Amino acid sequence: MKRRDFLKSVSGLAAGAALPAMPSVISSAKADARSETLLIVSEGGPNNLDIHGVGTNVPGYEVSWNCYDRLITHEMKSGPGGVPYYDRDKFKGELADDMKIDDMSVTFKLKKNAKFHDGTPVTAKDVKWSLDRAVSVGGFPTFQMSAGSLTKAEQFVVIDDHTVRVDFLKKDRLTIPDLAVIVPCIVNSELVKKNASEKDPWGLEFTKQQTAGSGAYKVVKWTAGTEVVMERNDAWVGGPLPKIKRVIWRMVPQAGNRRALLERGDADISYELPFKDFQEMKANGKLNVVSLPFSNGIQYIGMNVTKPPFDNPKVRQAMAYAMPYQKIMDAVLFGLGNPMFGAAKDKPTEVAWPQPHKFNTDMEKAKALLAEAGYANGFETTISFDLNFAGVNEPLCVLVQESLAQLGIKTTINKVPGANWRTELNKKEMPLFTNVFSGWLDYPEYFFYWCYHGNNSVFNTMSYKSAAMDKLIDGARTAAAAGDKAAYDADVKGFVDLAYADMPRIPLYQPYVNVAMQKNISGYQYWFHRRLDYRAMAKG
């Protein structure tokens, strides 16, 4: 560049910068657009618009939920605080008009007027292709399908253009609920097949970038890491026509800015804020803050039971007495959580999960138990946590560290980067750690199957193995499938009691999902996936 050109371009820039910066003037057309547009701000955005894709992240689930339909979905009921809450036990059709459950199969009749976004009608072969895809692509979707004993393409049978049958491999209470989660979404098979290739027979590359469903919304613009813009599908037949015409979802990494945007009234909804912010926003009352417990979710302290000192149940009980439960509730969560400790001594075990255990902070008892176990002078150990959730995990671990120091237990804190956390969990070598588990399917035996069963899944982070426990869990699953309530209740109470006697992991609290929104936003619903459902929302 010559000096003269350089100077010219510089003076051009200077002229531009000299123009006064006016606050953006919004014409009346734009004001209308605003009242029908929902502006969501959150920390992270989707990395893939298709839940069947490789490594689709949790924000991606939200897109799938709103842009695709499933055969069935849940009814709503009134939840804690009057907030609409999905009803675990009641189903209604979304793409299906009718569902008939037989002994070893279930038959769905499709809505005849259902159309995909491009106008092609939704047929039984789309349903079969989509379910085949979910059980075949591998990774998370296939795994989730198998949780409901849906594993083979042969299970999905086309009867005629508008009728599909799903055959059961075995009786499993979770099969029907598993058809109402996000994964078994119905995809426009003709459109995707046209864009598939030999290397990519299920067209995952195509659906990663655009939605090919029949859902209430469709993605019109997606800039990864910046924004997702969705528009209403006016031809949607899955339910009543949503009120929100357009959804703009912006990624704002700074939590402080998300709060500022909400308080200034520029953004409509945000989640993923620090608990302290939620607590303060609740207190000042300018915004609606909804806090609801995670269904089937618990934050806990886990102990590796295969190695000393935690192989000794006395040590584990001592740990359960040494946890600073109330401090964690107050100083870490600001009260936004359900305590999972300190149940009354005479409270009978319920057929429910999660439910609190009977331990309380009691350092004398902890000391006595430690002495009995031969650790009167304490020991040294390491407590690990996932840095992705450092906002909660870090203060929590510091409190635990302080508390254990009173017993002479020297604890080093090990911060594990988010990318590494799952690898570390899989190794099952961390002696002491905190973690959250929460299941989409809200059944006690589902939770216990993943977290306490001797088949040692990644979530049995403690490597806990007990023949008695396995028998109870398997018993509850069989009893649930057979509808034997008495046996089921006995087994559930049995495994809860055993978990709280053996204490391989110490439940601390049931976390809350917190959502802050403007006062003029209504229709928030709690779903098992804890993401937003725009279809029921309204503004003004």
Partner 1 sequence: MLTMIAKRLMFAIPSLIGVVIVTFLLTRALPGDPAAYFAGPAATKEAVEQIRKKLGLDKPLIEQFFRYTNDLARGDFGNSLTTGQPVAAEIRNRLPASAELTLLGLFVSVAIAIPLGVLAATRPGSWIDHLCRVTTTAGVSLPVFFTGLVLVYVFYFRLGWSPAPLGRLDVFYSAPPTVTGFYLIDTLVARDVEAFRSALSQLILPATTLAIFSLAPIARMTRASMLAVLASEFVRTARASGLSPSTVIVTYAFRNAMLPVITTLSMVFSFLLGANVLVEKVFAWPGIGSYAVEALISSDFAPVQGFVLTMAVMYVLLNLVIDILYGVIDPRVRLEG
15 binds partner 1 (CB under 8 A): no
Considering only the stretches 21-29, 212-220, 329-337, 367-375, report the one whose residues sit in contact with partner 1 under the rule CB under 8 A.
Answer: 21-29
Helix or strand or coil: residue 416? strand
For partner 1, give the closer residue by CB, 136 or 360. Answer: 136
CB 281, CB 270: distance < 8 Å: no
User: One symbol per residue from 42 to 81: x for binding partner 1 (CB under 8 A), - otherwise; what is it?
Assistant: ----xxx----xxxxx------------------------
CB 239, CB 232: distance < 8 Å: no
Find the binder of partner 1 among 80, 139, 308, 483 (CB under 8 A): 139
Task: Give the residue from 200, 202, 77, 188 showing the smallest Cα distance to 134.
Answer: 202
d(CA 434, CA 462): 11
- Catalogue the E-assigned strands of 274-424: 288-293, 297-303, 337-339, 380-386, 410-416
Find the binder of partner 1 among 138, 201, 374, 483 (CB under 8 A): 138
3 binds partner 1 (CB under 8 A): yes
540 binds partner 1 (CB under 8 A): no
Helix or strand or coil: residue 400? helix
What is the full DSSP assignment across 189-219? HHHHHHT--SS-TT-HHHHHHS--S-SSEEE
For partner 1, give the closer residue by CB, 24 or 344. Answer: 24
d(CA 415, CA 413): 6
Q: How far is CA 482 from CA 24, 91, 449, 492, 499, in A?
A: 64, 20, 17, 15, 24
Find the binder of partner 1 among 457, 482, 485, 519 (CB under 8 A): 457
User: One symbol per residue from 372 to 411: x for binding partner 1 (CB under 8 A), - otherwise; what is it?
Assistant: ----------------------------------------
d(CA 263, CA 517): 9
Q: How far is the CB of 391 from partner 1 (least distance, A)?
A: 15
Find the binding residues for partner 1 in span 185-224 (CB under 8 A).
208-209, 223-224
Q: Name residue, tokens 């001594």.
A: 345
426 binds partner 1 (CB under 8 A): yes
Question: Buried b / exposed e across 168-200, counting CB within 10 Å, b at 16+?
Answer: beeebbbbbbbbbbbbbbbbbbebbeeebeeee
Considering only the stretches 98-106, 357-365, 389-397, 453-461, report the one whose residues sit in contact with partner 1 under the rule CB under 8 A.
Answer: 453-461
For partner 1, give the closer residue by CB, 388 or 412. Answer: 388
Find the binder of partner 1 among 104, 331, 458, 482 (CB under 8 A): 458
Find the binding residues for partner 1 in span 158-177 (CB under 8 A).
none
Q: How far is the CB of 256 from partner 1 (least distance, A)?
A: 6
Find the binder of partner 1 among 101, 241, 260, 482 (CB under 8 A): 260
For partner 1, give the closer residue by CB, 113 or 420. Answer: 420
For partner 1, give the closer residue by CB, 260 or 376. Answer: 260
d(CA 61, CA 52): 10
d(CA 179, CA 167): 12
Helix or strand or coil: residue 54? coil
Q: How far is the CB of 363 from partner 1 (least distance, A)?
A: 35
Task: Give the residue from 265, 301, 484 showing the smallest Cα distance to 401.
Answer: 301
7 binds partner 1 (CB under 8 A): no
Considering only the stretches 36-44, 328-336, 375-383, 393-401, report the one whose residues sit in contact with partner 1 under the rule CB under 8 A.
Answer: 36-44
283 binds partner 1 (CB under 8 A): no
423 binds partner 1 (CB under 8 A): yes
Phi, psi of 522 (to 5 degrees): -130, 170
d(CA 195, CA 503): 52
Find the binder of partner 1 among 140, 334, 389, 524 (CB under 8 A): 140
248 binds partner 1 (CB under 8 A): yes
For partner 1, give the closer residue by CB, 138 or 483. Answer: 138
Q: What type of residue sits at position 408?
A: G
Peptide bond into 253 cis (omega under 30): no
Considering only the stretches 93-101, 251-259, 269-277, 310-318, report the one whose residues sit in contact with partner 1 under the rule CB under 8 A.
Answer: 251-259
- Catalogue the E-assigned strands of 258-374: 269-271, 288-293, 297-303, 337-339
Give the β-pairing of 380-386 and 410-416. Answer: parallel
Considering only the stretches 248-256, 313-321, 470-478, 520-528, report the one whose residues sit in contact with partner 1 under the rule CB under 8 A.
Answer: 248-256
For partner 1, give the closer residue by CB, 2 or 170. Answer: 2
CB 174, CB 440: distance < 8 Å: no
3-state helix, strand, coil in the chain (%, to 5): 35, 25, 40
The residues binding partner 1 (CB under 8 A) are: 1-3, 10, 13-14, 16-17, 19, 21-26, 30, 33-34, 37, 39, 41, 46-48, 53-57, 138-140, 142-144, 208-209, 223-227, 248, 250-254, 256-257, 260-261, 263-264, 266-267, 417-420, 422-423, 426, 457-459
